[in-house]
A and B are shown apart, each in its own frame.
Chain A
Amino acid sequence: MRVWVPIDAAARALGADDVADAIRREAAARGVEITLTRNGSRGMIWLEPLVEVEIDGVRMGFGPMTPEDVPALFDPGHPRALGPVDELPWMKAQSRLTFARVGVIDPLSLDDYQAHGGLAGLRAAIAAPEVIVQAVTDSGLRGRGGAGFPTGIKWATVARAAAERKYIVCNADEGDSGTFADRMLMEGDPFTLIEGMAIAGLAVGAVQGYVYIRSEYPDAIRAMESAIRIARGSGVLGTGILGSAHDFDMEVRVGAGAYVCGEETSLLNSLEGRRGTVRAKPPIPALEGFLGRPTVVNNVLSLATVPWIMANGAEAYAAYGLGRSRGTMPLQIAGNVRHGGLYEIAFGLTLGEIVEHIAGGTASGRPVKAVQVGGPLGAYFPPGLFDTPFGYEEFAGKDGLVGHAGIVVFDDTADMRALARFAMEFCAVESCGKCTPCRIGSVRGVETIDRIAAGDLDAIPILTDLCNTMKWGSLCALGGFAPYPVMSALTHWPEDFTGPAHRKEAAE
């Protein structure tokens, strides 16, 4: 009997370890021989822990499971039976390219990885390294970390730069609330990221890579470290990768709890062992990055998508998407939703389709009030903007951002003034301190919102002016984008700012 129980941190947070133990105990008690695999999560977090059992060659789902539900797994007619997992509507409607193997394979089995198409991209890249940059450019892949910069152009810059040593740095400092795709990929299919980084190394002539993972992700750190060891032991990393003439090795570096280190220049400083302050650009990291050398800095998802592009062709990837947003985006549906989790789909769905149909509305059953897209620095969208198609330019056109595609839903109990204050407070706490608009502006922002809360409506134009200064005067996206949640809250829900002071407290 083959059984899968996710080892993903979200599944573990919902009790997957206890369920796995219960399955082993029950199997032993019944004398049933089982092969239990700890897989990644399929992304249906509301069904976690989602146990899969192979029946007549088909993986059948059961969830959400508790240890008490386990004994019945060995009998027919389980009350939590979901049917074939691949046929569930959530799974069927997706286009899983980057996440094709997540939840399917044993994350640390290189055999499993290759049996599901792994290393095909790296083999194609080794066969023709000179075409990698063009293929990535033609695929239309843009930086999935949030900035949306064309990945191929960045790689071409590093490839052209003359230097004795270049680097591939993977930004796995996934600090945005509402995002967990990097974590899920590193825990569920870490070899994909390794393969993507090796391909990047081949493309630009770099032999060393670093994955900078935030310290809040201990499971992902463990998975990546194990996968790197296995890859090195199997010749996927190291001298002469896959028997070729190319060398590439990599290691994990752990962050230390600074949100701003998700910004690429700040991350590079941190990697060098400095304070995570932002660097002014130019010089761009592609020319003067880690230790002053040419460096590719890409998000986990950007790098992890490259193997698919190399294996299946740039055209196949570019066939997905909308406008200048090509390919697929792993949406992370979070917050107050009935169906939260990871949903990879071509760009182009409207925000309303995502929130109403895929997420199924709020978990509380109350009306949706606001949807924050793109993390703590992303704008709050009201239902009136639900017709906005999911794409970089389309969201920018509505004064918002796609960011890392985290989508956080709030019901009508949300206090938008409090959320705007939180955005400024968060910016003040996490500011690296290098530039004045961010360091001082965010503190003034908190104070100004408090004035508005106390009934001083004259402070509203001051807040607007302050946001304008931060937006255009800050050195990086932390201070530059913190105005997005603040101004969107003020623009779309003015009544939350101008209504009676202390209304929330009075209502409680």
Chain B
Amino acid sequence: MTSPAEPVLPNRSRAPELDSDGITRLDAIIVSHRDREGPLLPILHDVQAEFGMIPEGAQPLIAHALSMSRAEVHGVVSFYHDFRDHPTGRHVLRLCRAEACQSVGADALADQVRGALGLDWHQTTADGRLTLEPVFCLGLCACGPAAQMDDRLVGRATTDRVVTLATEAA
């Protein structure tokens, strides 16, 4: 592991899509976590919260700071559903597709919502406003079908309710 006295980031020209401000922000995230046991996931979560995605240019810098290979970091980023190498829309609508929600009509709800919004899974509206994602269980299994509009959880979701929330989000 790099000692705290050394600069965390190597040759910065290797991260073309991160400007100097982005690199400063990335540096701060790495420094805040790198002495923890198993720092990579906390770093990636913070990077995604900061940048809305894991910029490809961030990966070699994180790898260097943690004495990992770039392939290892890329392997981790690509393994987990949560980590993205592209931004989502400004709002994210998630519909639960797991069994408990299926038992109370989640499939039909999803079909209707997809039709009403003109979006399929993982798609974003052309204006970048809304992304539709599936989710496998929000832990709301006794009040399904469950949905999540940004931070807002919705139990016993109906098509009207979900489409209204999705449409109202500016």
Q: Evaluate contact between A273 and B142: CB separation under 8 angstroms.
A: no
Complex contact B66–A273 (CB within 8 A) = yes
CB pair A340 B139 closer than 8 Å: no
B6 is an interface residue with CB less than 8 A from chain A:
no
Is the pair B103, A176 in contact by a Cβ cutoff of 8 Å?
Answer: no
Inside 8 A of B103's CB, which chain A residues have their CB?
Answer: 335-336, 408-411, 414
Given A256-B41, A340-B141, residue A426 in contact with residue B79 (CB < 8 A): no
The distance in angstroms between the C-alpha atoms of A2 and B41, with both chains bound, is 42
Indicate whether A441 reaches chain B with its CB closer than 8 angstroms.
Answer: no
B-binding segment of A139-147, A193-201, A212-220: A212-220
Closest to B76 in A: A275
Bitwise interface map of A from 259 to 294 toward B, beta carbon under 8 Å scored 1, else 0? 100000000001111111100000000000011000
Asked if B129 is at the interface of the complex by the 8 Å CB criterion, the answer is no
Whether A273 pairs with B41 at a CB distance below 8 angstroms is yes
Q: B153 at interface (Cβ–Cβ under 8 A)? A: yes
A208–B146 Cα distance when bound, in Å, is 36
Q: Is the CB of B135 within 8 A of A333?
A: no
Total B residues in contact with A, Cβ cutoff 8 Å: 40
Smallest CB-CB separation from B104: which chain A residue?
A: A336
The secondary structure that dominates the B interface is loop
Give the complex CA separation of A66 and B32 in angstroms: 44
Query: Is the C-beta of B99 less than 8 angstroms from some C-beta in chain A?
Result: yes
Counting chain A CB atoms within 10 Å of each CB, which of B40, B80, B102, B142 scores highest? B142
A274 B141 Cβ-Cβ under 8 A: no
Q: Given contacts A178-B99, A218-B151, A291-B38, are A332 and B141 in contact (CB under 8 A)?
A: yes
B15 at the interface (CB under 8 A from A): no
- A497 to B40 alpha-carbon distance, docked (Å): 45
Q: Which of A49-65 contact B (CB under 8 A)?
A: none
Nearest chain B CB to A389 CB, angstrom units? 23
Instruction: Give bound CA distance, A334 to B145, whole Å.
Output: 11
A14 at interface by CB-CB < 8 Å: yes
A317 adjacent to chain B (CB < 8 Å): no
Residues 49-82 of chain B: 1 if any A CB is under 8 Å from the residue's CB, otherwise 0?
A: 0000000000000000010000010011001111
Q: Is the CB of B80 within 8 A of A257?
A: yes
Residue of A nearest to B99 (CB): A177
Q: For A175, list chain B residues within 8 Å (CB).
A: 136-137
Residues of A within 8 A of B139 (CB): 9-10, 174, 179-180, 183, 216-217
Tell whether, in the assembled complex, residue B104 and residue A335 are in contact, meaning their CB atoms are under 8 Å apart. yes
Q: Which of A273, A334, A376 contacts B40 (CB 8 A)?
A: A273
Which of A177, A259, A406, A409 is the one whose CB lies under 8 Å from B101?
A177
CB under 8 Å from chain A, chain B span 123-159: 135-144, 146, 151, 153-156
Q: Provided the pairs A275-B76, A290-B37 are in contact, do residues A179 and B102 lie with their beta carbons within 8 angstroms?
A: no
Residue B23 CB within 8 A of the other chain:
no
Q: In the complex, what's the smallest C-beta–C-beta distance from A288 to chain B, in angstroms?
A: 15
Distance in angstroms between the alpha carbons of A176 and B141 in the assembled complex: 10
Smallest Cβ-Cβ distance to A275: which chain B residue: B79
Interface assignment of A246: CB less than 8 Å from any CB of chain B: no
Q: Is B114 an interface residue (CB 8 A)?
A: no
Question: A258 near B: Cβ within 8 Å?
Answer: yes
Cα–Cα distance between A49 and B39 once the two chains are bound (Å): 39
Pair A13/B140 contact, Cβ less than 8 Å: yes
Distance A272 CA – B38 CA, assembled complex (angstroms): 4
The distance in angstroms between the C-alpha atoms of A257 and B140, with both chains bound, is: 16
**Does A100 have its Cβ within 8 Å of any Cβ on chain B?**
no
Quick check: is A253 within 8 A (CB to CB) of the other chain? yes
What separation, in Å, do the CA atoms of A434 and B17 have in the docked complex? 33
Chain A residues with CB below 8 A from B80, complex form: 256-258, 276
Q: Which residues of A contact B81 (CB under 8 A)?
A: 256-258
* Pairwise interchain contact B100-A419, C-beta atoms closer than 8 A: no
Interface assignment of A46: CB less than 8 Å from any CB of chain B: yes
* Cα distance, A176 to B82, chains bound together (Å): 17
Is A372 an interface residue when CB atoms closer than 8 A count as contact? yes
Q: B82–A256 contact, CB under 8 A?
A: yes
What 7 A-B pairs come out closest when comparing CB atoms? A273-B40, A340-B142, A177-B98, A334-B141, A256-B80, A257-B81, A13-B155
Given contacts A175-B136, A216-B138, A332-B141, 12 further A-B contacts (CB under 8 A): A10-B155, A13-B138, A177-B100, A178-B98, A183-B139, A254-B41, A256-B45, A290-B38, A334-B141, A335-B100, A422-B102, A430-B136
- Can you list 13 residue pairs at the A/B interface with Cβ under 8 Å? A10-B139, A174-B139, A183-B139, A208-B37, A216-B137, A253-B38, A253-B41, A257-B82, A258-B80, A277-B79, A333-B142, A334-B144, A408-B99
